[in-house]
């Protein structure tokens, strides 16, 4: 677990590995060790199958991410699942829907209300998630982190990372960053997701053109596969569409205020 742990590389010490956690827990505050990437590389490498992330959970100090949600969610057999952690990636969600539509995949956006923090630290029962998403036969997501966590809960369900599909359509030679959540063998963790979940700020420079992780892409100021494929096309029409959207937003706001006035009568 020590050799594969991105947290060890970030902190520069063996003590920040699961080995350090178990050795120091009886004597010291281990919250800083337990607030790690939660990528699961350690559990994959563990020869005796220790439930490492479950043991970390009571000590992890992740912050609550405030999600903006979606205007509406529609239950469908094929969904683009958005959580509070990816709801801030509005452009990425739009691009994913456009990309899937171009492939003939009619995925409906679905906002999953349970906290991604609770999903990450395994605070939610597997049966609860399976029950919540029983209606969906295929689930698309826009971040590797959601892909990894959902796959750990929905082992027999089809979960697909849209960024990987878009990557297959890219033409040209690019340096691709897959990240620790999608490829557990990598040592190129940007720590962008960990910073988002812990409220930290980690300096890290990586030499890549494209990242499967939108958080890494934002941190390094590079593209995701979806942005590279469709970003320029979407921007072309944005100026024409935006004023129309604003008109409808103003109308909806006006009607909502009038309805609230009548509510008590």
pLDDT tens readout for residues 50-68 = 999 999 999 999 988 776 6
pTM of this prediction? 0.81
Report the 10 Å Cβ neighbour count for 172. 7
Among 183, 196, 80, 90, smallest CA distance to 140 is for 80
For the chain, which ranges sit under pLDDT 50? 235, 237
Dist CA 16 CA 143 (whole Å): 25
Q: Return the pLDDT at 199.
A: 87
Q: Return the pLDDT at 225.
A: 94
Packed helices 232-263 and 90-102: angle between N→C axes, nearest 10 degrees: 110
Identify each DSSP E strand in the chain by its residue range.
78-82, 108-111, 138-141, 158-161, 176-177, 210-211
Q: Return the pLDDT at 187.
A: 75
Percent of the chain with pLDDT over 70: 91
The residues, ordered by sequence, that sit 6+ positions from 78 with a Cβ below 8 Å of its Cβ are: 105, 106, 107, 108, 136, 137, 138, 140
Give per-residue pLDDT as tens, 133-146. 999 999 999 999 99
Dist CA 207 CA 217 (whole Å): 11
Q: Where do we find the tokens 């620790």?
A: 180
Q: Return the pLDDT at 45.
A: 92
Q: Are 167 and 202 in contact (CB under 8 A)?
A: no
């Amino acid at each position: 677990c020590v050799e594969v742990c991105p947290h060890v590389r970030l902190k520069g010490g063996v003590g920040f590995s699961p080995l350090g956690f178990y050795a120091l827990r009886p004597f010291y505050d281990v919250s800083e060790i337990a607030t790690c990437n939660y990528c699961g590389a350690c559990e994959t490498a563990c020869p005796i199958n220790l439930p490492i992330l479950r043991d970390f959970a009571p000590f992890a100090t992740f912050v609550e991410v405030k999600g903006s949600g979606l205007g509406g969610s529609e239950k469908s057999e094929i969904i683009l699942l958005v959580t509070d952690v990816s709801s801030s990636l509005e452009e990425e969600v739009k691009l994913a829907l456009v990309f899937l539509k171009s492939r003939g995949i009619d995925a409906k956006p679905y906002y999953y209300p349970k906290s991604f923090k609770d999903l990450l630290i395994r605070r939610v029962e597997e049966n609860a998630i399976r029950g919540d998403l029983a209606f969906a036969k295929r689930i698309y997501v826009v971040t590797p982190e959601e892909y990894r966590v959902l796959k750990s809960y929905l082992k027999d369900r089809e979960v697909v990372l849209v960024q990987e599909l878009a990557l297959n359509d890219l033409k040209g030679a690019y340096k691709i960053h897959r990240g620790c959540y999608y490829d557990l063998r990598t040592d190129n963790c940007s720590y962008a997701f960990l910073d988002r979940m812990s409220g930290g700020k980690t300096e890290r420079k990586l030499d890549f053109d494209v990242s499967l992780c939108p958080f890494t892409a934002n941190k390094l100021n590079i593209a995701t596969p979806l942005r590279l494929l469709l970003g320029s096309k979407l921007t072309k029409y944005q100026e024409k569409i935006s004023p129309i959207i604003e008109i409808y937003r103003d109308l909806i706001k006006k009607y909502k205020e009038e309805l609230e006035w009548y509510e008590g009568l």
